[in-house]
Chains A and B, each alone.
Chain A
Amino acid sequence: DSGVTQTPKHLITATGQRVTLRCSPRSGDLSVYWYQQSLDQGLQFLIQYYNGEERAKGNILERFSAQQFPDLHSELNLSSLELGDSALYFCASSPGDTTTNEKLFFGSGTQLSVL
């Protein structure tokens, strides 16, 4: 158990809808990262938050947004969903902001299926 909790584990929705994925980092970790894992794109970095502020942005679509709350949990919002958004979404956490070589701790993911 990595200590990172993601909910829900599975989500089935329809095109055009909006969903929210939730992540609770390990106790004491200030950084939260979101990754998308799909068959054709592999594991893609979406966005990172550090202590409530956006720290880095990767291949995140404009239809997607995220935030980190004062209690350090994070939410990833996906809107106007398309079939191609079906993927496994991972959250990871780390103590700092990755300026060192600290490792990331991954949650078990949320499987999103857009029908």
Chain B
Amino acid sequence: GNSVTQMEGPVTLSEEAFLTINCTYTATGYPSLFWYVQYPGEGLQLLLKATKADDKGSNKGFEATYRKETTSFHLEKGSVQVSDSAVYFCALRDKISSGSARQLTFGSGTQLTVLP
């Protein structure tokens, strides 16, 4: 079955530090990959996505590249801000079953805290 593995948190960084949150996946087909972010007290929001190998998703200074050879989709940001403090979820949606409902499979989430 499909699965997503994220680096365990929590991760604590100083403002302007470089961020990497690792994500690897297992899927039987060729999935689309996503990063969702959950700010305190809120629901998840889509941060970025990539739908095929070598695609790079980017948004709000965050980037992630779909690496088929390493089955990875690591999230990076060059300079984090206090406002980036949140829980980050890596997720995949497979493409095997054409025309059928395909669900998001989420990783366990990584708590990021950025200190001023």
A residues apposed to B, CB below 8 Å: 2, 4, 33, 35, 42-45, 48, 50, 55-56, 58, 90, 92, 97-99, 101, 103-109
Given contacts A42-B106, A98-B93, A101-B51, contact A90 B101 (CB under 8 A): no
- For residue B58, CB closer than 8 A to chain A, the reply is no
Chain A positions within 8 Å of B102 at CB level? 98-99
B39 to chain A, nearest CB (A): 10
Q: Does B108 contact A (CB under 8 A)?
A: yes
Using Cβ atoms and an 8 Å threshold, which residues of chain B touch A101? 32, 49, 51, 93
* Interface stretch of the complex, out of B18-26, B40-48, B66-74, B77-85: B40-48
Q: Tally of A-B residue pairs with Cβ under 8 A? A: 59
Decide if B28 is an interface residue (CB 8 Å cutoff). no
B27 to A: closest C-beta gap in Å: 15
What is the interface size of chain B, counting residues whose CB is below 8 A from a CB of the partner? 24
Q: Are A92 and B106 in contact (CB under 8 A)?
A: no
- Chain B residues with CB under 8 Å of A56's CB are 101, 103
Chain A positions within 8 Å of B45 at CB level: 2, 106
How far apart are B56's CB and chain A's nearest CB, in angstroms?
16
**Nearest A residue to B42 by beta-carbon distance?**
A108
A45 CB contact (under 8 Å) in B98, B104, B109: B104
Complex: A33 Cα to B45 Cα, angstroms = 14
Known contacts A98-B93, A101-B32: A108-B46 contact under CB 8 Å: no
Please judge, given known A-B contacts A42-B108, A42-B109, whether A99 and B89 are in contact too, CB under 8 Å.
Answer: no
Decide if the interface of chain B is mainly helix, strand, loop or mixed.
loop
Closest A residue to B95 by beta carbon equals: A101
In the bound complex, do residue A45 and residue B103 qualify as a contact, i.e. CB atoms below 8 Å apart? Answer: yes
For the complex, give the distance between the alpha carbons of A88 and B45 in Å. 16
Contacts of A99 in B (CB 8 A): 98-102
Q: How far is the CB of A98 from chain B (nearest CB, A)?
A: 5
> CB-nearest residue of chain B relative to A2?
B43
Q: Closest chain A residue to B103 by CB distance?
A: A45
Q: Which residues on B sit within 8 Å (CB–CB) of A43?
A: 44, 89, 106, 108-109
